[in-house]
Amino acid sequence: MRYSALSIFRQALSGNRNWTPMWREPDPKPHYDVIIVGGGGHGLSTAYYLAKEFGITNVAVLEKGYLGSGNVGRNTTIVRSNYMLEGNEPFYELSMKLWEGLEQDFNYNAMMSQRGVLNLFHSDGQRDAYARRGNAMMMHGVAAELLDREQVRQMMPYLNFDHARFPIMGGLLQRRGGTARHDAVAWGYGRGADSRGVDLIQHCEVTGIRRDELGQVTGVETTRGFIGCGKLALATAGHTSVTGKMAGLELPIETHVLQAFVSEGIKPVIDQVITFGAGHFYISQSDKGGLVFGADIDYYSSYAQRGNLATVEHTMEEGVSLIAGLSRLRVLRSWGGAMDMSMDGSPIIDRTPIDNLYLNCGWCYGGFKATPASGFCFAHLIAKNEPHPVARLLRLDRFERGFAVDEGGKGPQPNLH
């Protein structure tokens, strides 16, 4: 069923009794050309582009819970491409371009809102660093604007400009950045993949990876029995280390918790996405009126989807330092995502030493905004056995080769990125 204003009108006349399910509920087949482990944004987008762009439809997406039950349904919804390094900026700009046409492409309302992303700076050194980042963006053909204090004040008069320790001196603005509805992105990709013949198999946990005497992957053991495959693709985010070990891989990934929060609903105040340069705090306002915000990861490794109170306190302190009026709001809920933190803070999209096993991981804080390009480039890799040009530097072996993509300049320590 194609969604349109006309279809909504027709369904209203029939009492909304004739809508079809968004996707089928198939039983697993004995064998697929490609199995994708992980029914989040990256797994679903990979399946979608495999079918749409490369004509590979004998594909199964295996999800241990329900589709979108992981990080794609529990994040702060930010979309941007204001990166600096060669390995990241072209990749995230491809993602931004795909975001801009995504809703028309898969015929689903993902509530894409290009409201702008502003990164604040609070010192002369930060201003110079953001000027450099903006210049790097423009060298890749991506628009960026370096705003002074008064320009920022005109846009956001409610900010705490005269904070004693962290006065706001300006910011780097990407007007094309913004937000999208996280779970709607998963639903749109899932619906698009299903309509092209991909099997979306929910509540099917992978418990093992079977290999033959030559080391090739032959299929996966699951809670619904053995399923064979020609190629196996892992897109399991915070559980990448767990699924990798099933195939005998030791991966340069640590799993940490990243918490996010939503306040009570208020009248429209924050029109853009704002990041606090004196820490790691970011905030926007949802269509329901709640303020959506987060900060740093919990620095210890954990697979839990909840965090601890020290990080909650730290987040609230940063938020009130940026916008003093936040102290009057109540936080309604918080949640945590299991983040696959790589050793340089940048992702991995690559083949593994096992010929027919493919890896998509290491997204750190950048997983949601990367969803379209991640799926497109991963599908390209699986279909052609060669990396997409914009993902050519996101190799698994870059750490032993000494070619890290260290966007934050913090070295090989995942919990600092």
pLDDT reported for residue 128: 97
Say yes or no to pLDDT of 319 above 90.
Answer: yes
Question: How far is residue 230's CA from residue 216's CA, in Å, rounded to a whole number?
Answer: 9
Say yes or no to pLDDT of 80 above 90.
Answer: yes
Residue 51 and residue 33 in contact, taking contact as beta carbons nearer than 8 Å: no
Q: Which of 41-45, 72-76, 87-91, 97-101 has the lowest mean pLDDT?
A: 72-76
Local confidence band at 241 (pLDDT 50, 70, 90 cut-offs): very high
Q: Mean pLDDT over all residues of the chain?
A: 95
Give the model confidence (pLDDT) of 96-118 as tens digits. 999 999 999 999 999 999 999 99
- Give the residue among 177, 189, 181, 238 at the shortest CA–CA distance from 367: 238
Local confidence band at 304 (pLDDT 50, 70, 90 cut-offs): confident
pLDDT reported for residue 74: 86
If you search the block for the tokens 């949802």, which residue do you land on?
Answer: 286
- Give the residue among 49, 59, 177 at the shortest CA–CA distance from 113: 177
Average pLDDT over residues 216-226: 97
pLDDT reported for residue 12: 93
Residue 301 — φ and ψ, nearest 5°?
A: -75, 140
Q: Strand runs (DSSP E) across 289-356, as ranges?
A: 290-301, 331-342, 348-351
Residue 119 — φ and ψ, nearest 5°?
A: -100, 115
Say yes or no to pLDDT of 150 above 90.
Answer: yes
pLDDT reported for residue 164: 85
Question: How far is residue 134's CA from residue 83's CA, in Å, rounded to a whole number?
Answer: 9
Strand, coil or helix: 172: strand
pLDDT reported for residue 172: 98
pLDDT reported for residue 130: 97
Token pair in block for residue 396: 């698994």
125 burial (CB, 10 Å; 0-12 / 13-18 / 19+) is exposed
pLDDT reported for residue 269: 95
Average pLDDT over residues 139-159: 97
188 burial (CB, 10 Å; 0-12 / 13-18 / 19+) is buried
Residue 20 and residue 49 in contact, taking contact as beta carbons nearer than 8 Å: no
Question: How far is residue 139's CA from residue 63's CA, in Å, rounded to a whole number?
Answer: 40
What does each C-alpha distance from 103 to 111, 134, 294 come to in angstroms? Answer: 8, 28, 26
What does each C-alpha distance from 97 to 142, 172, 173 come to in angstroms? Answer: 11, 20, 17
Say yes or no to pLDDT of 413 above 90.
Answer: no
Say yes or no to pLDDT of 48 above 90.
Answer: yes
Residue 61 — φ and ψ, nearest 5°?
A: -105, 120
The model carries a pTM of 0.96
Nearest 10 degrees: Cα torsion 236, 237, 241, 242: -40
Token pair in block for residue 94: 């491809």
pLDDT reported for residue 307: 83
If you search the block for the tokens 């329900």, which residue do you land on?
Answer: 66
- Bridge partners of 59, per DSSP, are 34
Q: Which residues are within 8 A (CB) of 401 and not within 5 positions of it... i.e. 6 or more apart?
A: 395
Say yes or no to pLDDT of 384 above 90.
Answer: yes
pLDDT reported for residue 417: 86
Domains and CATH numbers, the chain: 27-108+182-252+344-401 (3.50.50.60), 112-178+255-341 (3.30.9.10)
